[in-house]
Amino acid sequence: MNIKKIVFVVLLFLTINNFGAKAQTIEGNLNYFGFMDNREYARSKRFSQTIFGNRISPEIGLKLDSFNRFRVGFNALYEFGSQKNTFFDKIEPVIYYEHKKNNWNFFIGSFPRLNLVDDYPRGLLRDTLQYYRPNIEGMLVKYQTKKFKETVWLDWTSRQTAKDKETFLFGFSGKYQPGIFFLSHYAFMFHNAGAGVPIPGDFLQDNGGLQAEIGLDLSNKTKLDSLTISGGAMFSIERTRAISSKFNTPVGFISNFYASYKKFSIQNTFYVGQGHHVIYGDSFYTSRNYDRIDFGYTPIKYKNLEGKFVFSYHIVDGALDNQQAFFLRYNISGKKDLKKKQ
């Protein structure tokens, strides 16, 4: 972490502290995420790797009233064994405004995707985003009631310059559950435009996907803590303009099963259909037939601390790949009312 970044964070803190004297509440949050993800994918000829490191994300801000707040901070990554000789490998700013009133929630800025856009199926948005792109940079609107929720978001991933492309993701997801039955959907589009100075052989690209499912939530009908079963369609679209005016639109069937009891869980995802090329999606879905089984064990669960092992098996292209992961999350928050007593 260089001196410029340290000065920047200190100045932000002092600025908020100064304004906080005139506000009702100053609040803060600290999130820690440690991860070890060992991927043995050689049998299916996919990329094997071990992702091992941690992230820390402190925030501080003002709660202006019951509906509005500002937050500033940063999200820093350090991968174990890094050879960059820096305190952190990568630091990303966290600066956002949030408005929350009744059933509506609105964000603008650079804000954590955790608990907002972190439940997408891996076939659309791969799970490595939690390691390498933990923030959304753009806007998000969420509407939620007891039976229905819908989230619409825009994530600006690259601003156009003479050399840099203009790229962004736009998506929406939701769920309707009046009882034990539910309907859910997840969709997004990745827009990849050219740089300010055209690059020979580079063309504007549209790429995205959608999953829609109908299912049963039997969690309250059994002795298990959670039990859900669902099935539906996975659909993706891809077009490279100037090469073709037509969209490539593969489609297939996907099903999900999840059950948990105390510290143990099991999840199965099965796909059959045409292979997909979703740029931000998991590479296993390029195959026509794929099954994933996850066995979870959570030995650490205390207040704001949770540690979980996940053992995964991937059955694809006649091969059996495996994966072992451990995740540790710790989150603490606090606030102080600065309004003077009368």
Please write the tens of the pLDDT for every residue from 159-200: 988 888 889 999 999 999 999 999 999 999 999 888 777 777
Helices marked H in the chain? 3-20, 129-132
The predicted-structure confidence for 107-157, as pLDDT tens digits, reads as follows: 999 999 999 999 999 999 999 999 999 999 999 999 999 999 999 999 999
Long-range contacts of 142-146 (CB under 8 A, 24+ apart): 142/104, 142/105, 142/106, 142/116, 143/103, 143/104, 143/105, 144/103, 144/105, 145/103
* Mean pLDDT on 317-339: 93
Domain count, the chain: 1
Give me the percent of the chain exceeding a pLDDT of 70.
91
Cβ-in-10-Å burial (0-12, 13-18, 19+) of 342 comes to: exposed
Query: Residue 132 falls within a domain, yes or no?
Result: yes
pLDDT given at position 340: 58
Tell me, what CATH number does 108's domain have?
2.40.160
pTM of the model: 0.88
Query: Residue 57 falls within a domain, yes or no?
Result: yes
Query: Residue 167 falls within a domain, yes or no?
Result: yes
Of 157 and 338, more confident: 157
Query: Residue 342 falls within a domain, yes or no?
Result: no
Residue 1 predicted with pLDDT over 50: no
Structural domain including 24 reads 3-337
Tokens linked to 239: 């077009």
Query: Residue 295 falls within a domain, yes or no?
Result: yes
Determine contact, residues 1/301, Cβ cutoff 8 Å: no
